[in-house]
Structure 1
Amino acid sequence: MKIHKLKLTVLLSAIFALSSLNAGIRFKNIYQNDMVLQAGEENIVAGVSSPNSAIDVIVSAKSKDGKASVKNLKAKANKKGAWSVKIPSFPKRTILEISAKNENGETAAISNVVTGELWLGSGQSNMEWNFNADTIDPKYLQKYREIADSMKADVRTFKTSRLLFTEPSDEVGGRWNVIEGRNLDRSGSQLGFIFACILSKALDTPVGFIDTSWSGSRIEPWISKEALRKANPQIRVEGRIMDWAEYESCLNNFEKLRRDYLNNYRKWFEENPTEELQNKNRASCPEKPIDEISIDNLPSKMYNAKVHGIAPLSPKGVLWYQGESNSSEPYQYPALIKLLVNSWRKHFKREFYFYYVDLAAHRDTQSQPAHCGSWGGIRDAMAEVLSLPKTGVATSIDSGGSKKQGQGDIHPPHKEMIATRLANLALAEVYKKGSVKAVRSPYYSGEYKISGNKIIVKIANAEGLRKMNGKEKLTGFAVRGENPRDWKWADAEINGDTIILSSPDVPEPKAARYAWANWPIVSVESRHGLPLRSFSTDGGAYLDWNKKKGESK
């Protein structure tokens, strides 16, 4: 996951701000030719003009049945030149031409704007993964070129530019593209494109997908300073765990800390000039100050450049595929992901639907009953966002690796299965097409009881719970006694919506786990073919790291 580093300063933000004041009149960059606006509701369109100028906005609409209409609207730029106007609701497949004219006679226009459904995807490289990788099968690639052509301009995507800012920007870089087979490489997120195609066909509507992802990113860069400052959660910054107040103090005192570091490191080196002494006295080595400009993966920098400026355009829903880079601190993740969702909803002024991807299998196949400290922890931690309304998960623990690179490939090259699961969730829950039970994986309900030498785990959404096709027996389950590290393989039996677990080596079971590994053994699914999600009954996302629930440090 090599990242091309862009070292941008606050000065660049200031240059953008100055240029906007002299831009005559224009739309914000997210509002372009070929874009998608949400059908069936009012939309806000925004731009920049001369400060305090009056703006006339004309919306020319042509519905799918050929009827034409024109709306004349008024707007007023503020002292910084920003203006916005609310345009009326139009049904799907309405083609819009929108023009704006200020009192100086300067004009701007966007065309071939279509109404449909608008979604946004974010996260790290598995969300960013496109159709250009050399691990993609040529037949799979050709299949999606043909699908792209069959969409007949109904899928349009916007990929945000690879920029970073230390303060929020009112603009995002990037451009809208109408996706066809010949320009499939411009579709951005493969997962997002497939998701959009499925929605478009099922709903007979255009779909716009905004891809704002960054390979290797942690979750902290995607959360605003405002939200982090108010919540003050524990975060990891350059190997150090601190709260937001400590982090801001480091930034505000950078010059002094830099001078002290240069002096103290020289002295430390003079006292420890050999490799042997350096290894022995590593704990006393001065810490480098946090350079907000030169380090990419710092809190809020991706939000500032790749999320903030999308508003006031507001997505119907958000897809999130991230977590690999936070997997060593799962105990921090529940607070952070809930903060991300709540703060984004506030920013976009919409309680959008939020669906995330449960991380795919990776590296070595599970060989022990429970791999403590594995990706089981981050999968468990991510699920705490499901306590918020309008949230869901598409599990991918039954996928992973690639033919070319094997199980060590952290980027499963073909995103069709996960995109389909996400699309089915959206179709059933957002658009009321299909059964919700049929599109959600079975999962641990949070309830269990101990009966003699057995632990009985209750499973939610357990309709038709069964052993996976091709499996000889139920595997992947583990139980333990008092020792939180001494797990034993468990015999398992499905009984309605419960799974009964026992082990001859654990006469008095205290806790159970399932599929607790980077590449877990899985053996249970619903009658709809969706796998039982991994679980722990003992708070493994915290316990494996010797933390109590809610503890971050």
Structure 2
Amino acid sequence: MFKSIITLSAIFIACASFADIRFKNIYQNNMVLQAGEENAIAGKTNPEEAVELSVSAKLKDGKTIQKTLKTKSDKQGKWLVKIPPFPKRTNLELAAKNASGESAKISNVITGELWLGSGQSNMEWHFGNNTVEKEFLEKYQKDADATNGDVRIFTANRFILPEAVDEVCGDWRIIDGKNLRHGISQICYIVASQLSKALDTPVGFINSSWGGSRIEPWISKEAFKSSGVSFNSSNNTEFKNWQEYEEFTSNYAKLREEYIKNFPKWIEQNPTGHLQNQNRASRPKMPIDVLANDHNPTNKYNSMICGIAPLSPKGVLWYQGESNAGQPYFYGDLLKLLVNSWRKHFKRDFHFYYVDLAAINDYQNQPVHYGSWGGIRETMAEVLALPKTGVATSIDSGGSKMQGLGDIHPPHKELVSTRITNMALADVYKKGNPKAARSPRYAGEFKVEGNKLIVKIANAEGLRKMQGKEKLTGFAIRGENPRDWKWADAEIKGDTIILSSPEVPEPKAARYAWANRPLLSVESKYGLPMLSFSTDNGAYVDWGRQKK
């Protein structure tokens, strides 16, 4: 990591040309701009200098349009021009020239649909990974060759920075069968290909993701400072707000000295695991060097998200959460903060779709698995309270032939990608049935009638037992004791599920699929699995927390 920081300045310089005028690095040959709307084109030159942008647009019907637009750079040398709307499949050549006579040009730019994908390794997961079967790769290599240049992907390079910069490193590639396996995100490619076919348009994806990353590094400092949300940092320290974190990190040298001095004493006083747990409040806090760990807040936003603007995605795909599963009670607020702050940054109320976590490890063998991924799946769903959001569940996938049930990376992303595409087509492009694209989920309402607990389900059209299942499984019910769960008998009635157990005469709460690899049994008539849920805020209760 330290090496990455040291070489960062040189690499960001390499992102730009050495002329006195240039485009921002995200603006390259072969890129995709939004069709049918104004597009902001940005770059850098000498401070306060006149800039002229020549636009040569070749429309689908062969007609050519020429435009010349003028602006002036600001005191930092940044310039921005908005070009007029062009229909899909317009091929553009953009040439920028400053008053000093220097020029820069990008070509083979095409108009279509532009999306952004981000998250951790399951978003990064590409066709060349070792668990991907040969037949799956060959299928999509043929698919990529058939797209005829309509799928183009920018993959952002991995770097961290303590402050935001107005650039993002990486390259645009037109995807074909030859380059598909070389670091191209499966989800980004498959969704792009499916959208392109359905809409008969080019589709571009910006993939800015990092395996193993937490959510905190993807959120801006400004968002943290204005929100007051709680979060976790690289040394597993919880912070109530950004101000507390900033005060802590600003005293790094002093805290490091104190830690080296005091931690050995604490270990001597607390040599056993029992004592260390009992006296954990007095344990000296490990200092945080903001440059030393890629889990620290804001550092990926600073180098891998901020500089994408003023490009503005039509929609965002998010696949992350595994690295935050140990503190699920933070996640809902953080994900909502990410969405709202990104919408503000990109100046677009884009659609946001996330993928919940796939099944992992052994099958559920208890009514409730405490500390499982049930908690993080539940708090992820808090973002659905925001408009234009949706979830593509992967709870019915997970594991691989090569690495077994414990494989955290489902090797083939076609299932979840198709679910994302169906939502996007229905919501963004008004093609398809929105009800058919959304999984059944807990509607937030339940009632008790005698010894029965009746749960209301949203997106419940055609709610049914899963194909091939003998009975409804995966349901748990309890009385007053929050740690005494029993398996529940279940019955589907319309948009409700009726739960009961002879061992729970006075039910108080219920859960479904509360495990890393849960027993699933309910789906919509469209074959989409019902999401896991609790009626007692399980993501918080299980960790001794209060829901805000």
Cα distance, 1:260 vs. partner? 2.5
* Distance across 2 between alignment mates of 1:153 and 1:437: 32
Residue equivalent to 1:88? 84
Which of 141, 145, 149 is the matching residue for 1:149?
Answer: 145
Cα deviation per residue 1:15-61 (whole Å; 9 max; x = unaligned)?
95899797400000000000000001000000000111100000100
Structure 2 CA distance for partners of 1:153 and 1:487, relative to 1, 3 Å: same
Which of 230, 234, 242 is the matching residue for 1:234?
Answer: 230
Cα distance, 1:7 vs. partner? 4.1
Which of 203, 208, 211 is the matching residue for 1:207?
Answer: 203
Contact 1:51–1:81, Cα closer than 8 Å, also in 2: yes
Cα deviation per residue 1:447-489 (whole Å; 9 max; x = unaligned)?
1111111111111111111111110011111111111111111
Structure 2 CA distance for partners of 1:209 and 1:479, relative to 1, 3 Å: same
Cα distance, 1:266 vs. partner? 6.1
Contact 1:400–1:412, Cα closer than 8 Å, also in 2: yes
How many percent of aligned residue pairs carry the same amino acid? 63
* Distance across 2 between alignment mates of 1:266 and 1:523: 52
State the SS of the aligned residue for 2:409: coil
Residue equivalent to 1:50? 46
Residue equivalent to 1:487? 485
1:162 aligns with 2:161: no
State the SS of the aligned residue for 1:50: coil
Which of 309, 312, 315 is the matching residue for 1:314?
Answer: 312
Which of 286, 289, 294 is the matching residue for 1:296?
Answer: 294
Residue equivalent to 1:113? 109
Cα distance, 1:264 vs. partner? 3.3
Stretches of structure 2 lacking an aligned partner (at least 5 in a row)? none
Once the two structures are superposed, the pairs formed by residues 178-257 of structure 1 within 5 Å of their partners are: 178-186=174-182, 188-237=184-233, 238-243=235-240, 244-257=242-255
Cα deviation per residue 1:48-84 (whole Å; 9 max; x = unaligned)?
0011110000010001111100111011111111101
Cα distance, 1:549 vs. partner? 0.9
1:125 aligns with 2:121: yes
Structure 2 CA distance for partners of 1:116 and 1:485, relative to 1, 3 Å: same
State the SS of the aligned residue for 1:75: strand
Contact 1:21–1:50, Cα closer than 8 Å, also in 2: no
Which of 257, 262, 267 is the matching residue for 1:259?
Answer: 257
State the SS of the aligned residue for 1:185: coil
Residue equivalent to 1:427? 425
Structure 2 CA distance for partners of 1:285 and 1:488, relative to 1, 3 Å: closer
Structure 2 CA distance for partners of 1:531 and 1:265, relative to 1, 3 Å: closer
Contact 2:91–2:111, Cα closer than 8 Å, also in 1: yes
* Distance across 2 between alignment mates of 1:517 and 1:278: 27
* Distance across 2 between alignment mates of 1:198 and 1:362: 28
Instruction: State the one-letter code of the partner of 1:261.
Output: Y
Cα distance, 1:289 vs. partner? 1.1
Structure 2 CA distance for partners of 1:220 and 1:391, relative to 1, 3 Å: same
Residue equivalent to 1:379? 377
Cα distance, 1:334 vs. partner? 1.0
Cα distance, 1:212 vs. partner? 0.4
Contact 1:425–1:439, Cα closer than 8 Å, also in 2: yes
* Distance across 2 between alignment mates of 1:403 and 1:15: 39
Cα distance, 1:288 vs. partner? 2.5
* Distance across 2 between alignment mates of 1:17 and 1:82: 16
Cα distance, 1:389 vs. partner? 0.7
1:66 aligns with 2:80: no
Structure 2 CA distance for partners of 1:322 and 1:5, relative to 1, 3 Å: farther
Structure 2 CA distance for partners of 1:5 and 1:178, relative to 1, 3 Å: farther
Structure 1 window deviating more from structure 2 (537-546 vs 345-354): it is 537-546
Contact 1:341–1:354, Cα closer than 8 Å, also in 2: yes
Cα distance, 1:137 vs. partner? 0.7
Aligned residues: 543
State the SS of the aligned residue for 2:5: coil
**TM-score of the pair, normalised by structure 2:** 0.95
Instruction: State the one-letter code of the partner of 1:438.
Output: A
Cα distance, 1:544 vs. partner? 1.1
Instruction: State the one-letter code of the partner of 1:110.
Output: I
Cα deviation per residue 1:198-239 (whole Å; 9 max; x = unaligned)?
000000000001100011111000000111111121111111
Instruction: State the one-letter code of the partner of 2:138.
Output: Q
Structure 2 CA distance for partners of 1:461 and 1:145, relative to 1, 3 Å: same
Cα distance, 1:440 vs. partner? 0.5
Residue equivalent to 1:548? 546
Contact 1:372–1:485, Cα closer than 8 Å, also in 2: no
Instruction: State the one-letter code of the partner of 1:435.
Output: N
State the SS of the aligned residue for 2:168: coil
Cα distance, 1:442 vs. partner? 0.9
Stretches of structure 1 lacking an aligned partner (at least 5 in a row)? none
**TM-score of the pair, normalised by structure 1:** 0.95
Structure 2 CA distance for partners of 1:143 and 1:14, relative to 1, 3 Å: closer
Structure 2 CA distance for partners of 1:164 and 1:426, relative to 1, 3 Å: same
Cα distance, 1:157 vs. partner? 0.2
Cα distance, 1:132 vs. partner? 1.2
* Distance across 2 between alignment mates of 1:187 and 1:74: 38
* Distance across 2 between alignment mates of 1:113 and 1:96: 5
Which of 513, 520, 523 is the matching residue for 1:522?
Answer: 520
Contact 1:221–1:297, Cα closer than 8 Å, also in 2: yes
State the SS of the aligned residue for 1:182: coil
Residue equivalent to 1:389? 387
Contact 1:511–1:538, Cα closer than 8 Å, also in 2: yes
Instruction: State the one-letter code of the partner of 2:164.
Output: P
Instruction: State the one-letter code of the partner of 2:514.
Output: W
* Distance across 1 between alignment mates of 2:324 and 2:264: 33
CA RMSD of aligned residues (A): 2.0
Residue equivalent to 1:537? 535
Which of 403, 425, 429 is the matching residue for 2:401?
Answer: 403
Instruction: State the one-letter code of the partner of 2:76.
Output: K
State the SS of the aligned residue for 2:145: helix
* Distance across 2 between alignment mates of 1:302 and 1:341: 15
Instruction: State the one-letter code of the partner of 1:358.
Output: D
Which of 75, 78, 84 is the matching residue for 1:79?
Answer: 75
Contact 1:164–1:304, Cα closer than 8 Å, also in 2: yes
Structure 2 CA distance for partners of 1:266 and 1:549, relative to 1, 3 Å: closer
Contact 1:318–1:355, Cα closer than 8 Å, also in 2: yes
Contact 1:7–1:293, Cα closer than 8 Å, also in 2: no
Cα distance, 1:188 vs. partner? 2.3
* Distance across 1 between alignment mates of 2:440 and 2:356: 13
State the SS of the aligned residue for 1:181: coil
